[in-house]
């Protein structure tokens, strides 16, 4: 119900016009940038706290992959995993898949925020465009981390031997954040181009499965036909999976090298964030 206006209360001390002090010093700008990224992420995290159902329903799919798909294929011994149990081989792949799936539909929430006018208010505020993009990327990262926790729990139940060393766990956290940031920013760029939910949903579906199948998530690239191996080589998800396979499993079972994985993921993310920062203002038009 509309309420009668509250009694006029002239603003007191903190209400003086333009009292926002510009902080000085070399660190002021990067600090303010970082604070805004974290503020935007914090906003999304609070939304999840208000309503965490999404995170729980999203956990169903990886559970099915591990328990049903994983168990069946483990029994066939058809996939050369380099001597590892197939469930163990599959686990980092499914974590990467969760990261991909939770991030790739970031564009939908971006389009939703555009329809509401939230994007317009963000763009009118003195927030650097790349900070807006990075804030969204980190939000996706936080969502993906919740999935990582659930998948670690599942994997434990399935008896996979996990690498519990602190550096390995920290590496997994960073890989999950990087991967989610990368795919969510890619998704944001697509959203900036298509601008409507219907078109985005179509494209999202078309992109997800090829990214997934042209990676080492559920089988090693070595058994792929040569052309597909080339596709996999340009697929960031391959590097995400390799990195996770190295760090998640006891004994480290990755195909590639960790420095390469991190370098590819970090530089791709940086590139996408710069492109995303350029594209984001198009949403207001």
Partner 1 sequence: MSPILSTQNLSRRFGPVTAVDGVTLSVAAGEIFGLLGRNGAGKSTLIKMLTTLLPPSSGSAQVAGFDIEGEAAKVRRVIGYVPQALSADGELTGRENLDIFARLYDIPSSLRKARVGEGLEFMGLGDSADRLVATYSGGMIRRLEIAQSMLHRPQVLFLDEPTVGLDPVAREAVWEHIIRLRQSFKTTIILTTHYMDEAEKLCDRIAIMQQGKLAAAGTIAELRAATGDETASLTDLFTRLTGNAAEAGGGYAATAGTRQTAERLG
Reduced DSSP (H G I as helix, E B as strand, rest coil) percent helix, strand, coil of the chain, to 5? 75, 0, 25
Q: Render the burial of 152-176: b for 16+ CB within 10 Å, e for the rest.
A: bebbeebebebbeeeebbebbebbb
Residues paired with 249 in a beta bridge: 162
Binding to partner 1 (CB under 8 A) within 39-98 occurs at: 39-40, 42-43, 46-47, 50-51
Which residue number, 4 or 25, has a Cβ lying nearer to partner 1? 4
Member of 83, 126, 225, 259 binding partner 1 (CB under 8 A): 126
Residues with Cβ within 8 Å of 265's Cβ and at least 6 positions away in sequence, in order, are 175, 178, 179, 182, 236, 239, 240, 243
Position 159 contacts partner 1 (CB under 8 A): no
Using CB under 8 A as the binding rule, whether residue 8 contacts partner 1 is answered as yes
Closest CA to 211 of 170, 169, 268: 268
Which of 60, 72, 115, 157 binds partner 1 (CB under 8 A)? It is 115
Contact region with partner 1 (CB under 8 A), list: 33-41, 147-155, 164-172, 209-217: 33-41
Return the structure tokens found at 193. 């181009």
Name the helix (H) or strand (E) containing 240: helix 236-248
Asked if 26 interacts with partner 1 (CB under 8 A), we say: no
Q: Which of residues 237-276 bind partner 1 (CB under 8 A)?
A: none
- Give the nearer residue to partner 1 in terms of CB position, either 51 or 76: 51
Least distance in Å: CB of 273 to partner 1?
A: 18
**Interface with partner 1 (CB under 8 A), residue from 34, 68, 72, 120:** 120
């Amino acid at each position: 119900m509309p309420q009668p206006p509250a009694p006029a209360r002239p603003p007191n001390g903190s209400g003086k016009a333009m009292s926002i002090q510009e902080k000085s010093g070399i660190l002021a700008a990067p600090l303010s940038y970082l604070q805004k990224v974290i503020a935007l992420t914090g906003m999304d995290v609070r939304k999840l706290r208000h309503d965490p159902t999404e995170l729980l329903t999203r956990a169903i799919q990886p559970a099915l992959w591990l328990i049903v798909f994983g168990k069946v294929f483990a029994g066939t011994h058809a996939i050369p995993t380099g001597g590892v149990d197939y469930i163990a081989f599959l686990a980092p792949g499914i974590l990467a898949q969760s990261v991909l799936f939770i991030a790739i539909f970031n564009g939908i929430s971006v389009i939703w925020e555009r329809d509401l006018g939230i994007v317009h208010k963000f763009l009118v505020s003195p927030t650097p465009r790349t900070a807006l993009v990075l804030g969204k990327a980190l939000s996706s990262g936080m969502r993906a981390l919740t999935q990582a926790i659930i998948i670690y729990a599942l994997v434990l139940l399935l008896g996979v031997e996990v690498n519990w060393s602190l550096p390995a766990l920290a590496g997994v956290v960073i890989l999950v954040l990087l991967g989610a940031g990368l795919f969510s920013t890619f998704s944001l760029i697509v959203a900036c181009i298509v601008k409507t939910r219907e078109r985005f949903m179509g494209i999202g579906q078309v992109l997800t499965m090829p990214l997934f199948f042209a990676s080492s998530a559920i089988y090693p690239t070595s058994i792929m036909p040569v052309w597909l191996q080339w596709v996999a080589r340009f697929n960031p998800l391959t590097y995400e999976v390799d990195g996770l396979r190295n760090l998640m499993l006891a004994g480290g079972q990755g195909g590639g090298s960790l420095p390469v994985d991190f370098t590819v993921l970090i530089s791709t993310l940086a590139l996408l964030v710069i492109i995303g920062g350029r594209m984001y203002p198009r949403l207001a038009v």
